[in-house]
Structure 1
Amino acid sequence: MSELHTVNKSPYEKSSFDSCVGYAVAGSAILLMEDGVYAAMQGGATEAKVKSAQGVKFYALGPDMKARGLSEDRVIEGVEIVDYAKFVDLAEEHSKVVSWV
């Protein structure tokens, strides 16, 4: 059973990202959205956690990055930038969606 985890809080304000990464298992996907997209940026406190989460695929919602003035060329290698249509596809592909708030 694969799960899609969504994180919408900044990793610099809440512990949602850390809790999510600790819970996610191989085969899971994590979608960073709203202020959660800050976790997708290179050079931050979350970069090592993203890179070490083996078997977990990371996505960042592009429109939310754009709304926050975040450049796609600063995204951590391996994090895929997606649009709303892909968000829907991810929800359909996984058997369960878990929201971390």
Structure 2
Amino acid sequence: MSTLHTVNKSPFTNRSLESCLNHCKDGDAVLMIEDGVYGGLAGTALAEMVAARAGAVKLYVLAPDAHARGLGEDRLLDGVSPVGYDGFVDLVTTHDRTQAWL
């Protein structure tokens, strides 16, 4: 059974993303939404930790939320994929359950 984890808080204001990545199982997916999209950026203090989970865990950012914050896809870590709202729906339907990290 795979889980889609959603993280909506900035990793620079709380530890939701870090906790999420520590609890994810291989085959799970993490979708960073709202201010959570900052967790998918290259060159941050958390980039190494996030990149270390890429591959075993699929990592995504909601592209409209990144764009709303002035973040281009060129700033994303390798292994982090942008998805639109239709991709969000696909992720929900292809995983057995969804876990929101608040």
Specify if TM > 0.5.
yes
Range with bigger deviation, 86-95 or 49-58: 49-58
For 1:67-86, list aligned pairs within 5 A: 67-86=68-87
Q: Extract unaligned runs of 5+ from structure 2.
A: none
Deviations 1:31-74 (A, max 9, x none): 00000000011101221112111510000000000100011101
For normalisation by structure 1, the TM-score amounts to 0.97
Deviations 1:3-56 (A, max 9, x none): 000000000001100100000010000000000000011101221112111510
Alignment partners' CA distance in 1, 2:5 and 2:49: 15
Indicate the SS of the match to 1:30: strand
**Which residue number corresponds to residue 89 of structure 2?**
88
Q: Extract unaligned runs of 5+ from structure 1.
A: none
For 1:48-59, list aligned pairs within 5 A: 48-53=48-53, 54-59=55-60
Identity %: 47
Alignment partners' CA distance in 2, 1:28 and 1:46: 19
Question: Are 2:18 and 1:18 equivalent residues in the alignment?
Answer: yes
Alignment partners' CA distance in 2, 1:70 and 1:56: 23
Alignment partners' CA distance in 1, 2:59 and 2:88: 12
Aligned length: 101
Alignment partners' CA distance in 1, 2:96 and 2:45: 30
Tell me the C-alpha RMSD between the 2 structures: 0.7
Alignment partners' CA distance in 1, 2:28 and 2:46: 18
